[in-house]
Copies of this chain bind each other. A is one copy, B any other.
Amino acid sequence: MSPASSAWSNSLNTLSNPPPELSAGFRATLARIAGDGCLLTDPADCWPYGYDNSRRHARPQAVVFATNEAQLAALVRLCCESDVPLIARGRGTGTTGATVPDRGGIVLSFERMDQILRIAPGDRLAVVQPGVLNAQLQQAAGAAGFFWPPDPTSAATCTIGGNLAYNSAGPRAVKYGTPRDNTLGLRAIDGHGDTFRTGVLTTKGVVGYDLTRLIIGSEGTLALITEATLKLTPLPETSRTLRAVYADIHAAAHAVSAIMAQPVTPCALEFMDGAALATVRHYAGLDLPDGAGALLMIEVDGPSAGIDEALSAVMAAARNAGLIELRRAETAAEVAALWKTRKALSPALRHIAPKKINEDVVVPVSRMGEFIDGLARLSDESGIRIVNFGHAGNGNIHVNLLIDPDDPQEVARAASCLDAVFALVLRLDGTLSGEHGVGLEKRDFVAREIDPVALRLMREIKDRFDPAGILNPGKGLPEG
């Protein structure tokens, strides 16, 4: 193990003993299929491809760099014959362990399939390889006057393939939707090693079943995506930013419902609860009014003509008895100042609790106040500090349990608290993941949300796409 990986490993949760060596025959065939310079087998080289942002780690037995469909088809066939797991990976920014090879096997890195094949403004589409970075696509699309709406926080380093694997969205989803709403078609390879196309190049199409959206969000368990045709949206002309501070979360939640019930849909509607504000309050220059119990960051975009009226409509909806302060940014510097509180949160949390448990549950917007109340009760009962922020317009709440992982008692209480959080989410008609996905992290909770019949159908679909069970086995769905 290299010194660098050894330093890393101190903060990682190693999931398995080193996997058994691959046979010499398998390795020879693998080398031929992977092609020159596209295979890593030295454990130290493989090591960095074994983790994701969940801090789980398991060393892959080999790493193959994907280069083309013929190579991938041959690789799937080889793994199929030899019963070796194949785990597709973008850049490892996922938070659920979905790309961690916990059962050994080959990590298939898409980082070199990073070409933007086509940007077609008149057809509002882009065709990309899965290893293209989200930010790279935004830049190329932006030059043509367009953007692709999904914008995870990790946009600078996450891949389109990963965004599709988890249906990862981000703040703009409130107005522009998730990858499922912004993808027209795919090329993919199933668990037999057979290549196929899904979807269309157009915004309408109803021939055959919708395999495109079935594969999006399936975390590499159904097929390897080799190409995606993405629906582009024209860049808005301008935007405006608001910060609304409320006495408590109920007033903020009430404002969110009121904003979502009027015609102007913001392009960002983010919130921080009182615990999140308390976490950053001691930072200098945040300029928060006294009594701040919840905060909304609101952005409105659109044509310059009418933007101020659109902002006024949102401001009117944001006003209620619990509003303490409503500030509107006029200049780029003012916009940055308003976002400062929100941006201070992540470093503050990392400082306080480097191993916080970060969930991304969703509840209907109308239940958000009730949910945050419930979380406060669970925090009191468990003694675990819970800090909440997230995408309020979608009811997508990042629930952060701040724990000391070296305290086994606290870890046990956190597990029990998390269990209660999930139960609360489901009682409020919510879902356990809005955009991070399931991976290993939430696999054992899936059966609480998905009913047994739907789960049977999902397993049967998995079984038909991947009868040998080699495509990212054990992720996404609970064990049979």
Contacts and interface: CB of A to CB of B under 8 A. Distances in A.
B464 A460 contact: yes
Contacts of A446: 207-208
A265 interface: yes
Contacts of A307: 306
A95 interface: no
B213 A261 contact: no
A414 interface: no
Q: How many copies does the complex hold?
A: 2
Interface string A429-448: 11111111110001000100
A360 to B, nearest CB: 9
A450 interface: yes
Interface stretch (A52-60, A214-222, A243-251, A289-297): A214-222
B124 A208 contact: no
A178 B194 contact: no
Nearest to A436: B206
Contact of A181 (B181, B195, B302, B461): B181
Contact of A303 (B125, B207, B264, B391): B264
Contacts of A364: 120, 123, 125, 201-202
A265 B234 contact: yes
Interface stretch (A108-116, A166-174, A271-279, A380-388): A166-174
Interface in A306-354: 306-310, 313
Contact of A433 (B121, B206, B458): B206
A455 interface: yes
B210 A214 contact: yes
Interface in A217-271: 217-218, 222, 234-237, 257-258, 260-265
A28 interface: no
Given A194-B453, A214-B214, A122 B260 contact: yes
A208 B450 contact: yes
Nearest to A124: B260
Given A303-B313, A306-B306, A365-B122, A167 B449 contact: no
Interface string A187-214: 0001000111110111111111111011
A77 interface: no
A263 B303 contact: yes
A395 interface: yes
A379 interface: no
Contacts of A4: none
A367 to B, nearest CB: 8
A309 to B, nearest CB: 3
Contact of A211 (B166, B167, B458, B462): B458
Contacts of A462: 209
Contacts of A201: 364, 429-430
Nearest to A450: B208
B196 A457 contact: yes
Nearest to A223: B457
Contacts of A43: none
A396 interface: yes
Contacts of A437: 206
A372 interface: no
B261 A122 contact: yes
23 contacts: A121-B261, A123-B365, A123-B395, A124-B260, A125-B364, A196-B453, A197-B454, A202-B395, A202-B396, A204-B362, A204-B396, A204-B431, A206-B437, A207-B438, A208-B438, A208-B450, A209-B218, A235-B263, A302-B306, A303-B310, A304-B309, A306-B309, A457-B464
Give the 8 A-B CB pairs with smallest separation, nearest first. A306-B306, A305-B309, A122-B257, A196-B453, A204-B434, A460-B464, A234-B263, A305-B306
Given A177-B181, A208-B446, A208-B455, 13 more contacts: A124-B260, A181-B181, A190-B457, A202-B364, A202-B396, A202-B431, A203-B395, A206-B217, A206-B433, A208-B438, A208-B450, A209-B218, A209-B462
